[in-house]
Structure 1
Amino acid sequence: MANSKHAHLRYNILDYCFRNKSYGFEELLRTLNEGISELYPGEEISERTLREDIKVFRDKVNGFDAPLPEGQRTYTYSDANFTISQRPLQKYEQYLVEAAQQLLSRFENHPKYNKLAEALIKFQDEEEQENDAKRILFYDHNEEYKGIKFLKPLYLAIKKKQVLQINYKGFKDESTSVLEFHPHILKQYNRRWFVFGLNKTRDIEEWSIPLDERLIDFEILEDENYVESNIDWEAFFRTMVGVVRPGEAQVEKVVLRFHNGRENYFKTKPFQPDFEEFFEEEKQDQVWFETIINKELVQQLLSYGQDLEVLEPEQLKEQMREQSNTMQQFYSS
């Protein structure tokens, strides 16, 4: 095994390099050391360590069995679809996961670490499935979701304040659009990630891009100056359900009445976290909150079917009537 210090970082950098272009040995070493220095200032690896790392990639038994041809002056995968993220964990990687779980156990009563601990358990469970272990966890996830590959690169672009050139094609678009984009935050909704930021091409500050097949690819624009955001994103999202905010939308008071005891379900899993309950005894089946009216709010309301009634505002009541009338036409004999 090669030098184990920051090996996981080196392997990820090398995997990225091998997937994206052909590198000569010296260029590969320089690129790798630049990546290491960002997280470990003043540190770098030797030519010997890089050669050992390359052996790990090619090793069919104790390595990644990567399609990295030998006897060539440059290094690149012969299979453009290969990535080490699809390979089983190495022994030292499994050790790191288990060590992380042990470390987190010290903070098991701290809610800040709950989601990370949950993620590690899910990760370990999926790894064990590859060894034909009995499934223990069954959780809600999007198996067809391919956009997750963009999450880390976009996260790093935000951290490094990098300007991006985005290639995007909507489901109904006939051709690909190219735009200058300044990424500011990442938001998850309904098992899908979205990146929000400044669309400099269209001069829109609150532009959102879904991380799915509509996002073709992107590259860093090195010579462009990054524009910071002045938006309070916390407040921006607290007054809406989902991620779509029409430009003319205004915050309104929404009042809902539940039937068949469904208010209890809503209160344990509200789609609008800032909801309020009424004090009047005859209104214990009602809640209210302030939000904008958008399609995602309507979709959440419709998910309750006949167990929910919109009392205010009239605009939202009318949208619910239209939805109900349309669905009735589908099932009329």
Structure 2
Amino acid sequence: MSKEIDNTKIIVLDRCFSDQRHKYSIDDLLDKVNEFRYDVSGPDSTIKERTLRKYISRIRNMLPSNVYLESRPYDGKKCYYRYSDPDFSIYNNEMSIDEIDTLRAAIEMLQPFRNSKANAWLEEVISKLEYRFGLKANTENVVNFGQNDDFAGLKNLSAIIDHTANHQPLNIYYQPYGKEEELYLMHPYYIKEYNNRWFLFGLVPEKNWLMNMALDRITSFSVANVPFVPNKDIDFSLYFDDIVGVTVPKNTIAQDIVLRFYGNRLNYVLSKPIHKSQKQVEGKEDEIVIRVKPNKELCQQIFSFLPDVEVVSPEWFRKEISKKIVENLKKYFPMHDRCTDDVELCNVNNKE
């Protein structure tokens, strides 16, 4: 371990000497090295300036004849250290400074997920990246993601990711909302997050189709002692292209759904499209069209825009949405118990 830490100290110093955008004094270099050592080995592992200078001397001995480590004065009293060749690094085959900065920014964005109870695997990955490249993520939290740490399925996420990546069939006890628990044998293929929930997709042989399971509905699971059936038919990079959400309707083709918006709601929809196929209807400033397979998630999206949205077409989908609206109105206005599925008749009853 000590040899690895020594090598990493050299990596940290090498990055500083290669960095043309910052000026690192001896104090700055000491802070950089100790910051990393503190994270890896704790507060008792920090070094003093004398030890740091030994590592700087070691790096000087590693340099080729055409490169030297400069000590340049700045800020009146201080000196900063930098390689004479701005393109040089001891680890020329490693990542560039710009790539390191990009990786560091990515790690900083992932910080909110590190302490999540589901993300032990993510913590391990980030820690290895920080150690391998001498990175230290910003301790100040400047990014917040809409994650739901109380989501029931999080406790299963890490293990299910591992089993899916390792092609391990699973015996899953699954309980859909309002139904009895059932046992399924699943060959897991893909995991997708939508609206702060996680979903597992895999082949269920007894049904001979791809099944979608919400992780918060999985009550328990174990590895099944059967050969894994690989996915040879579905390209998951394209599988969700024609839908909103995660539910892919069977035996359905994508079709144009035209929606009309009222008030200022259209500006919101234009800035945050419902689907990647979204376009404004030519000649209709208040209408958009999306080409999708209608599913329950699309209905939920439409209802979230009420009362500022109207389904224009197709007619069958307009009627389906209107029926749901009428059913909802009955919960608020008892007089609507007399309504039929005809929205216009309901309006007449209201006027009376």
TM-score bucket (shorter structure): 0.5 to 0.7
C-alpha distance after superposition, 1:46-69 (max 9, x if no partner): xxxxxxxxxxxxxxxxxxxxxxxx
Q: Is the 8 A contact 1:167 1:178 kept in 2?
A: yes
C-alpha distance after superposition, 1:199-232 (max 9, x if no partner): 112211x2111111x2022222244233224112
Q: Is the 8 A contact 1:181 1:201 kept in 2?
A: no
Cα offset, 1:300, TM superposition: 0.4
Distance in 2 between the 1:106 and 1:329 partners? 60
Aligned residue in 1 for 2:327: 326
1:191 is the counterpart of 2:196: yes
1:92 is the counterpart of 2:40: yes
Give the match's secondary structure for 2:234. coil
Distance in 1 between the 2:271 and 2:106 partners? 18
C-alpha distance after superposition, 1:179-209 (max 9, x if no partner): 21111111111100001110112211x2111
Distance in 2 between the 1:136 and 1:105 partners? 22
Cα offset, 1:234, TM superposition: 2.8
Unaligned runs of 5+ in 2: 6-37, 44-94, 118-138, 335-352
Aligned residue in 1 for 2:298: 297
Give the match's secondary structure for 2:227. coil
Q: Is the 8 A contact 1:125 1:137 kept in 2?
A: no
Distance in 1 between the 2:158 and 2:306 partners? 37
After superposition, where does 1:253-332 map in structure 2 within 5 Å? 253-280=256-283, 283-332=284-333
TM-score (norm 2): 0.56
Query: Percent identity of the aligned residues?
Result: 24
Distance in 1 between the 2:179 and 2:3 partners? 48
Q: Is the 8 A contact 1:104 1:117 kept in 2?
A: no
C-alpha distance after superposition, 1:138-165 (max 9, x if no partner): 6533343021122222222222111111
Aligned residue in 1 for 2:233: 230
Distance in 2 between the 1:156 and 1:125 partners? 17
Give the match's secondary structure for 2:307. helix
1:201 is the counterpart of 2:206: yes
Distance in 1 between the 2:214 and 2:161 partners? 14
Cα offset, 1:94, TM superposition: 9.1
Aligned residue in 2 for 1:98: none
Q: Number of matched residues?
A: 231
Q: Is the 8 A contact 1:257 1:311 kept in 2?
A: yes
Structure number, greater radius of gyration: 2
The verdict on how the C-alpha distance between 1:183 and 1:313 changes in structure 2, with shifts beyond 3 A counting, is: same
Aligned residue in 2 for 1:120: 111
Q: Is the 8 A contact 1:104 1:113 kept in 2?
A: no
TM-score (norm 1): 0.59
Give the match's secondary structure for 2:179. coil
Give the match's secondary structure for 1:140. coil
Question: What is the RMSD computed on CA atoms of the aligned residues?
Answer: 3.7
The verdict on how the C-alpha distance between 1:326 and 1:220 changes in structure 2, with shifts beyond 3 A counting, is: same
Aligned residue in 2 for 1:11: none
Distance in 2 between the 1:93 and 1:267 partners? 50
Distance in 1 between the 2:144 and 2:193 partners? 20
The verdict on how the C-alpha distance between 1:5 and 1:188 changes in structure 2, with shifts beyond 3 A counting, is: farther
Distance in 1 between the 2:249 and 2:237 partners? 17
Cα offset, 1:166, TM superposition: 1.3
